[in-house]
Each structure stands twice: as structure tokens, then as C-alpha cells.
Amino acid sequence: MANSRSGDSMTERIVRVLDTFTSERTMQTASEIARRTGLPSSTAHRIVGELIEQGLLERDEENRVRLGLRLWELALRGSSALRLRQAALPHMEHVQTLVREHTQLAVLEHDEALFLERLSHPDAGANITRVAGRLPVHASSSGLVLLAFADPALRERVLAGPLRAVSRETVTDAVALRALLITIRRRGFVVAPGSIEQVSTGVAVPVRDRGEVVAALSAVLPREAPTEPVIAALLDAAAAIEEDLRTSR
């Protein structure tokens, strides 16, 4: 009943509809959505109609469709991402008062770094990351920390490549990357100058819950900024987050 003749589930088709929305594309007509999903037009229109009926999508006065607050509520209310992010936020704010650039929290999701939170100073420098945005694990400082402490199977899969160059300084050589990950595990932090954008340096540390690395806490700085005080602030904040996660169980 829930499966079409082509074998994809109704859930999969709903995901395809929701997946057409991005941070750059928050409003679409039902026809644009239909085209972008690649689903038969009648199927896509019917799913959009059902999603609007349930409040997961909303229609505005000009008949354009956007993601609904009900979807936001359902996704967040019981989310472990929210628990982690709520534990981290006060300590991220403290880092941010010291660093006054960008402070971020990321988790591993499908071999990429998914950013749960980002605090930015109005005068801060360049930074490509967005809340609910992703970056490759081998390029971003957060991703490198998550990869260094990830399940060995995942690490080998990523090392087997391809390792795409995000900037000229992204480490794309598997041997060099393997050595870097060993260093990160030993030191407990990474400084990654220019690996995403040439003008910036990423600094990241792991955050643990029940002994496992569950997130990376990072800062993005202008390339020439001193990194030592930032490393110290991030390590202190990670310890404080871990303590809050322990007591909030």
C-alpha cells in the first residue's frame, strides 16, 4: 500500500519533497518541487498537498510553499540533537565572548559533519558553515575531529577516497590524512589552516558523552589569528559541556 510500483516507499518520496528545500531555496511552487523531486507530477502534487494538510509544509499568500513550523516542532521536540545543543550553548557563548569570531558545534551524520549550532560575531571573518549545513569530514576542522575519533570502518571508508579538495590546502592525500588523524587522536585538538577557505583557520576539539566522541566544538578564525588561546577556550568548554551532559542524564 505504501510502496509505489517503482519500489520506493511513501516515506522516501516525502523525504525527496522535503529535501528540495535548502538554505538558499526556502520558498518554491508545488510545480518547482515536483520537478526537483523527479517524481511523477501528480504524485509530487499529492504529497505536497498531504504535507500542507499536516502542517509539515505551509502555503503563503502567493501560493508558494515553505517548510512548516509543525515539521520544525516534530523534528526538535524529542531530538537528541536538541539535548546536545542545549547543553553546549551556554559554553559556546562563553567561548564566543572570548574568541568573538565563529563558534560551532557539529556531529557526524552519514560520513559528513552536520552543524547543529553556530554563533557568529557581527564583525567576524569568512565562514561557510550554516546551522543544518554539512561539510566534508576530511576538510573541515570539525569533520577532522569527528573522523579521527570515528568508528575505524568509517575512517577506512573515507580514507579509501575520493578526497575532494575544498580549497588548495585541503589534505587530499590518504597517507597524509591518516597521519593527521593519528596526531588529532593523540593531541585531542586540530588546527586546520585554509582547509575550507584560504582566509580562515579552523580549530576543533572533541566533545564526549558516556566516553564516546559525540560532537566537535570548533572556532573559525581569520588566518593570521593566534590559535593557542582558542584551543584552551575550546578544551575548557568541551569539558564543561561533558560535565553538563553527565549531570543531565
Binding footprint of a second copy on the chain (CB under 8 A): 1-2, 4, 9-12, 14-15, 18-19, 21-23, 25-26, 46-47, 50-51, 53-56, 66-67, 69-83, 86, 89-90, 93, 107, 109-110, 114, 116, 119-120, 122, 131-134
- Minimum gap (Å) between residue 185 Cβ and a second copy: 23
Q: Which of 55, 41, 50, 40 minimizes the C-alpha distance to 14?
A: 50
User: In terms of CB distance, is 86 or 198 closer to a second copy?
Assistant: 86
User: In terms of CB distance, is 108 or 190 closer to a second copy?
Assistant: 108
- Minimum gap (Å) between residue 187 Cβ and a second copy: 27
Helices (H), 101-227: 141-148, 152-159, 174-187
Helix, strand, coil % over all residues of the chain, rounded to 5: 45, 20, 35
- Minimum gap (Å) between residue 88 Cβ and a second copy: 13
Q: Which long-range contacts (CB under 8 A, 24 or more apart) does 80-86 make?
A: 81/107, 81/116, 83/248, 84/116, 84/207, 84/209, 84/214, 84/215, 84/245, 85/116, 85/117
Q: CA-to-CA distance for 21 and 24, rounded, in angstroms?
A: 8
User: In terms of CB distance, is 22 or 31 closer to a second copy?
Assistant: 22
User: In terms of CB distance, is 3 or 31 closer to a second copy?
Assistant: 3
User: In terms of CB distance, is 116 or 220 closer to a second copy?
Assistant: 116
- Minimum gap (Å) between residue 66 Cβ and a second copy: 6
